[in-house]
Structure 1
């Protein structure tokens, strides 16, 4: 048998943790000396310790771990617990991956600070346009929130247009507005994925036709590359707007001149921000 210190080293855990497991009945020593209280463990108990650590690392509480190991959870319930935890871990991985993409984009933007070329900004009028669109809500206005929401909407919209016999007449357009009840400042945003059309919908098409108004004055810039890096182009627009005595009105529009989800790094997107004199 092993002392608590030796057993802790063999199991790669702390003595304090083993004492806690003993106190709650999760991993009880084989022998406790009645005189000095020294705990003794045997090698077979490493198997239980390994299972405790594995289940705890999966996110189960110690109470749940004990119920599982003591066969107080049947197979069906355990399967359900594991599936739920798997879904939680997958969601966390997706969220962390999106957060990492956002951090990398911000770092690239910081590295390019001071090299903004506002000569690429064009002031122009944007004519009205009729679009067929789908709408959804994103958790925020950052690319890490917008991208996962808007990307699947365009293939779905193309399918619905084809089923309705409506032909696109121009490149896809996205625009945004605060979600109902919000201000859009760090809050949910309504995402509109649109495709220009000339005709209105029939019945049961599964999309909405909207007439987007003209923009009398828009500061525009053509963004090259993935939309994860769009903030650099937006900040170039911001610099031009401020330097020329304007202020923005609402959100910007995005016109996807050339874009494929499979070749996002080769995308060409025009950003349009409505402006007025400050």
Structure 2
């Protein structure tokens, strides 16, 4: 039996961590000296300690390690989940690296913001199947699109144009986003629950730009409209729209997503006073 200090020195694990593992139940001492109260460890515990250290170095939390040590059957699923989590972190960090490289290049050229090409175009009116709900945040549209797809299949509707989203909130919402999904359809049908058939008005002047890349890039494009509106003497004139031309359903690489932002505008002279 080794005292905690001896075990600490030989295993290169601090006394503080050994005590923590004891408190959490991950690695209890083999015995407690009844005279001194010292924690005592044995060589038989090295295997369990190595398992703990291996899982810790793989990024698992203490609670996750406790669950895995308590039930080996959980190990494959938790390993797979951790792999997915780390891949997502790596992908996010790679995006940051690319942004930093782009920022460095723009700074060397005397520019800071990415050039965003914004054009004015007319958007015709259309008859759509509409699904409008309040969702937790801007990234929670997926479930609504699945519901829309199921409804279209059940009702045997025929789409005649590109689906789009209308965002009805007057200001940016961190949560509880009022969004309406619209799918242009050939024929109308009976309204059912949140599913409605309605006409979406056309717009003579819609400021439009495209964003290539993951959805996290969209915010930067919106910010570009600030300068553009001021330079062109225009104002917002209604809820903005988004069209995802390439997304999770037809593109596996988020870097290749293609989103179109449409913002209805009108000239300052056309804005009513008061």
Please confirm whether the aligned pair reaches a TM-score higher than 0.5, indicating the same fold. Answer: yes
2:200 matched residue in structure 1: 212
Residue 219 of structure 1 and its aligned partner are, at CA, apart by: 1.5
Q: String of CA shifts for 1:160-199, please: whole Å, max 9, x gaps.
A: 3243232111112122234xxx964322213333221142
1:150 to 141, 152, 158: 141
Where do 5+ consecutive residues of structure 2 fail to align?
none
Where do 5+ consecutive residues of structure 1 fail to align?
70-74
Distance 1:169 1:212 in 2: 14
Residue 126 of structure 1 and its aligned partner are, at CA, apart by: 2.9
1:100 matched residue in structure 2: 92
1:238 matched residue in structure 2: 226
1:8-87 to structure 2, matched below 5 A, reads 8-19=8-19, 27-28=28-29, 30=31, 32=33, 34=35, 39-47=39-47, 49=49, 57-60=60-63, 86=78
Q: String of CA shifts for 1:85-131, please: whole Å, max 9, x gaps.
A: 959x66x939965992796399379736646446x322344333222
Cα 1:97/1:237, change in 2 over 3 Å: same
Q: String of CA shifts for 1:35-92, please: whole Å, max 9, x gaps.
A: 6x65542212334545777899554399x88xx87xxxxx8xx97xx59x959x66x9
Give TM-score, length-normalised by structure 2.
0.65
1:91-170 to structure 2, matched below 5 A, reads 93=85, 97=89, 100=92, 104=96, 107=99, 111=103, 114=112, 116-117=114-115, 120-135=117-132, 137-141=134-138, 146=139, 149-151=140-142, 153-154=144-145, 157-170=148-161
Distance 2:212 2:24 in 1: 59
Cα 1:24/1:110, change in 2 over 3 Å: closer
> 1:151, 1:261 within 8 Å by CA — same for their partners in 2?
no
Q: CA RMSD in A?
A: 4.7
Cα 1:14/1:226, change in 2 over 3 Å: closer
Q: String of CA shifts for 1:115-168, please: whole Å, max 9, x gaps.
A: 6446x3223443332221345554333xxxx2xx33465465345324323211
- Worse-matched range after superposition: 95-104 or 266-275: 95-104
Give TM-score, length-normalised by structure 1.
0.64
2:174 aligns to what SS in structure 1?
A: coil
How many residues matched? 253
> 1:109, 1:232 within 8 Å by CA — same for their partners in 2?
no
> 2:132, 2:194 within 8 Å by CA — same for their partners in 1?
no
2:217 aligns to what SS in structure 1?
A: helix
Q: Which has the higher contact order (CA 8 A, sep 6+)?
A: 1
Residue 220 of structure 1 and its aligned partner are, at CA, apart by: 1.6
Q: String of CA shifts for 1:228-256, please: whole Å, max 9, x gaps.
A: 43334333333211212223356421234
Cα 1:248/1:11, change in 2 over 3 Å: farther
Cα 1:194/1:14, change in 2 over 3 Å: same
2:177 to 175, 183, 189: 189
